[in-house]
A and B are shown apart, each in its own frame.
Chain A
Amino acid sequence: MPEHGIEGLAAARLWAATKFPYLATGVFGAQVIADPGSGTLSVDESWRMHADPEVTADWTAAQLGSVLIHHVCHLLRIHGERAQDTGVRPDEAADWIRAADAEINDDLVPAGLELPGRPVLPRDLRAEDGLLAEQYFAGIRRQAARAAESQARSGPWLDWLDCGSGADGIPRPGQGQGSEGGLPRWQADLLRRQVAQDVIAHSKQPGTVPAGLLRWAEEILTPKVNWRAVLAAELRRAVAEVSGAVDYSYRRPSRRSAVAGPVVLPALRRPVPEVAVVCDTSGSMTEDLLAMVLAEVEGLLRALGLARQVRVLACDTAVAPAQRVSSARQVELIGGGGTDMGAGIGAAAALRPRPAVTVVLTDGYTPWPAAAPKGMRVVVGLLGEGAPDAPPWTRSVRVEP
């Protein structure tokens, strides 16, 4: 291990690894470098911590260990990258770090973190516990806009220290990115996964791991699928398979036939398929989510050049007449009560011209027909968490905002 020249570092790391055993891999994975005169202990995105020996000398082992844990959490939750995605300007970096600190501290301080000074907690930002840094940061931005001119921007956090580029994504002079000694990105990703696995393993004993950290680990190990991308792919595929859109067909001779002599070549054809959307309007549906998904479907169909063909059916146990719409805002959701999507699919199949693709948006609490309707593709959007599965003859997409 390289010379770090920080007194009491070993004891601090030992304290951290004992008190928070599920983060031990992260604590030992970070490299600590002495950086005299920096006046703080900061972290960069390559898992290197830059410590000013004069600052750390005043801290107890528990305090230094807590700062290490705190910084490891900045890295685990990739606050640097998220700051860039959020568009944090350099003059807002301090606000972002307060937001990121609040995200970490809200469950680690109750778990026994002993940070020097007064750590930022969500209540300092007039927010509730358990939110994301982005949400805390949006709150700070709103408050700053309200407070307007420069005044009223002081608080107990001003005595808190700079957490570094690992927390806000803004490079610090003299701390090269990944150039010498730090962890390259892919190794940092592996380390993060390892910590997540440790957290899950420790959570088998109830009451040991803070809930926020457990939620983080579960998200790392089973990443959320972006339903928009999946829905788009399923729709594109259904439209492509049904219509053979812009595909080759022997129905018409190719334009190259003139020079190809006796050979029959296929030509490009593009039939335009009809699309119907069946909306579940039973009492159990959330209207906001339905409107959001409907708008998404409409946007996708417009991108495929099919927006004019869309017909929307509202359905609970009975089916309202089809509405031809040009915008999701025009859809009137009439209905309520029980649900039978079979009726909706049957009604879609009875439309003339017959739709080649039917999109069903439902919460899944419905009976389904036993088999697929003939000659029609069915794409199901299952809305809301824990929706029951759709039958295997459909292509289903889970939509969980």
Chain B
Amino acid sequence: MKGFKVLNPGIHSLLQDMGRFGYHSLGITSGGAFDQYSFGWANQLCHNLDNAGCIEILVGGLILEAQVTTQIAITGADVPIKINDSTVESWCTHNIQAGDTIAFGYATAGCRAYLAVAGGIQAPLIFNSLSTVVRESLGGLTKLGTPLEKGDVLSCSSNSHCTERSVPAKYHCEFNTDTAEIRMVTGYQYEQFSQQQISQFFATDYVISSNSDRMGYRLEGPAIEVPSCEMLSEGISLGAVQLPANGMPIILLCDRQTIGGYPKLGSVFSQDIAKLAQMMPGKKLRFKPFSIEQAQRVLQESTSK
């Protein structure tokens, strides 16, 4: 089948959808688009189903050649994009002709861009998802967890051109220039930490370590004394903030292991996981406590808009 041919996969480009659910008890993680906000807009622009397959482009460098006539949309990080010789905008759709070349430069703000195609990118599903999880060797074009490679062809249907659409600027990602505020729903072993440990945690400006990826973000800052609670391994939710014995928090993300035995203070609010997805190592963040009532109210409000 025809679609888009990968001329250059760039730094690390992955096929992703909303993720893999219903198989955590086998040890299979969720995977899925890291910045679900930008991913969601890319599919919406193309009038796709919410779960349609997209490309998650880390930093940039991806070059595609179109073999079909269709529409695409690009959202997420600020990345210079060229279609043939013209520079084009992101957060909007573009009509594409067979033979066109789409080339990404490198992100100037944020770090993950999403490319959706009208009708979605087709790939074999494994455990009901095409999401690529390199660590588990699952998903993607090969079903074996491989990132995009030169010569790959991403199957897409042909679609007639239509009026171009764009996302109003007020809904574009905002990229923090200073310390990002990350809301964390308090939970898990939170009550077992002392007042002093908790105050220190919320007062610290943490730096995202270079040893961070889709599995987890390691944070650097003054070590927190970890309560000596005996722990049995238990299920880990998306965004869980765990404190291993060295007292440096790790935020567990889309490709996390499904169970683990370190004490956890709670889990990052999903709207702020999208923010984390756009933060490179070296960026700073500070946690803010968020109650389950607040979190679920905000979720309800943002979908009823």
A and B assemble together:
no
Point out residues on B near A: beta carbons under 8 Å.
Answer: none
Point out residues on A near B: beta carbons under 8 Å.
Answer: none
